[in-house]
Amino acid sequence: MMLVRLQPFQELESMRRQFDRFFEDALGELPRNEWMPAAELQDHGDVLHLRLAIPGIDPAHLDIQVTKDAVRIAGERRSEQSQNKDGLLWSEVRYGKFSRAIALPVEVQNEGTTADYRDGFLTLTMPKAAAAKSFKVTLNPAISATETSAS
């Protein structure tokens, strides 16, 4: 009787490659060098905070454009490995160029936007435009009904 060694991870990898080929055949091959950083948008009253996870990117090579209703961020993560990738067995890190456009839920003052890059996160602080800010309306004291009818 011949024993066959079970290698479940090899089977899973084979199945993943088959799925990749299936979708490439159906949709056309997608560019493998492009990727999109994860983002989160928070509303803090008078400002919006947009955070993007972009570790390993030199902030000097980022292109950040803010309009009144959208943000576009582009850059590139360059591989530190040599072209032949000596010793690299596998990698889940995406390298190459990226471009991300994000529509904003309210208008912002693009000239007042600030950017901060710390610990692999880019944070944009965007003050809301005056029309987008909520403000409290103060009610003037009502004139009594008798004063109004007497006039």
Residue with the two structure tokens 């000596």: 86
Range of the domain at 100: 33-80+94-133
CATH assignment of the domain containing 38: 2.60.40.790
Predicted pLDDT at 75: 93
Query: Quick check: is 26 in a domain?
Result: no
pLDDT in tens, the chain (151 residues): 677 666 666 777 777 778 777 776 666 655 555 788 999 999 999 999 999 999 989 998 899 999 999 999 999 988 776 555 677 787 788 888 999 999 999 999 989 999 999 999 999 999 999 876 666 777 777 665 555 555 5
Nearest Cα to 66, choosing from 131, 114, 117?
Answer: 114
Structural domain includes residue 7: no
For the chain, the maximum distance between any two Cα atoms, rounded to a whole number of angstroms, is 112
Q: Count up the domains in the chain and report the number.
A: 1
Per-residue model confidence (pLDDT) at position 123: 97
